[in-house]
Amino acid sequence: MNDVPTAGARDLGGPPWEKALVRRIREKNLAWTSEKTYRSWCRRFIVSCDGKQPETLDHADVRRWLSDLAVKERVSVSTQSQALNAVVFLFQEVLKRDPGDFSDFTRARRGRKAPSVLTQAECKRLFEAMEGNSRLMAELMYAAGLRLSELLRLRVKDVDLERLQLAVQSGKGGKSRLTMIPPKLEQALRAHRERLRELHANDRAACLPGVELPEALERKWPKAGEKFIWFWFWPSRNLMRDHRSGIVRRHHVLDVTFQKAIREAVERAGFDKRVSPHTLRHSFATHLLASGVGIRDVQDLLGHADISTTEIYLHTAKHTGIGVRSPFESL
């Protein structure tokens, strides 16, 4: 989902350069998470330039800053690349200048760490330390290999319990994909969906604003957010005020809420390793490869643009093969 602030957004930036940056980001319809990332890096870059006016910044300033990130702050190569992308966007889209060529720049070098992974027995132990919607969310995240943002932003229409397919809309990089829903979860998900009908009916009876929609859709069909098919599959218990639009309505469960549920379950289960929600996605990929599923199939299920990203899981799996079946089925 693209959750760029709507027309009523108040957070338009501070100094003129940031206001122009926000305007270009929203004109290009980038995701809200991308906007926050770009603004954060560009602020850090501007501050590092010791008071120089943005219009006077050049290629040398960018190279010096990138070098400081690698040498002094010891950031990873991916973090450094993210910072570079943000500043290049600033130069090209806001300052309307060529930032120069960085192909010869010596980037940060740090080996990619093997992801933290749970065994299937540990996954089961984690789920048994949870209850209610939090447990069902964790089970689905593992069963379908979802990112946390993808899990939280599911809509009723995205969960096809007849075909046992999950539609991930506008995942990382704005891409969409299909993944699996294991039959073992069908009954619990159906029961959850029926409870959502009651909550949705109560919201409509209370004349609450509809849920947030992608900006273009909200402009075209302002009332679509009131339809059940667009209702959040994991709605928050309480209404919240959107800090960007000021509208009070039902939002999806917050990431910090689910992260806290996982953290408390990890403590109850007595794990001696670091476990986060994303560990469930790492475990999904690892268990598929270990069970013989081909790496290309795993790449498609995870939504990786580059297979090299998927290959990291070869270090945590014993072997690869063919055939796709959610590892949740064998718990």
Catalytic amino acids?
147, 172, 278, 281, 304, 313
Phi-psi region of 301 (alpha: psi -120 to 50; beta: other; left: phi over 0): alpha
- Both tokens of 248, joined, read 């009070």
The string over 123-157, giving b where at least 16 C-beta atoms fall within 10 Å of a residue's C-beta and e elsewhere, is bbbbbebbeebbbbbbbbbbbbbbbbbbbbbbbbe
Q: Given phi > 0 = left and psi -120 to 50 = alpha, else beta, which region is 72?
A: alpha
Cα separations in angstroms, 7 against 18, 24, 87, 214: 18, 14, 26, 12
Tell whether the torsion through CA atoms of 71, 73, 76 and 82 is positive or negative. Answer: negative
Q: What is the DSSP string of 61-110?
A: HHHHHHHHHHHTS---HHHHHHHHHHHHHIIIIII-S-----TT------
Looking at residue 29, its amino acid is N
What burial class does residue 270 get, using C-beta atoms within 10 Å of its C-beta: 0-12 exposed, 13-18 middle, 19+ buried?
A: exposed
- How many Cα neighbours within 13 Å face the side chain of 143? 23
Give the count of alpha carbons within 13 A of 18, CB side only: 18
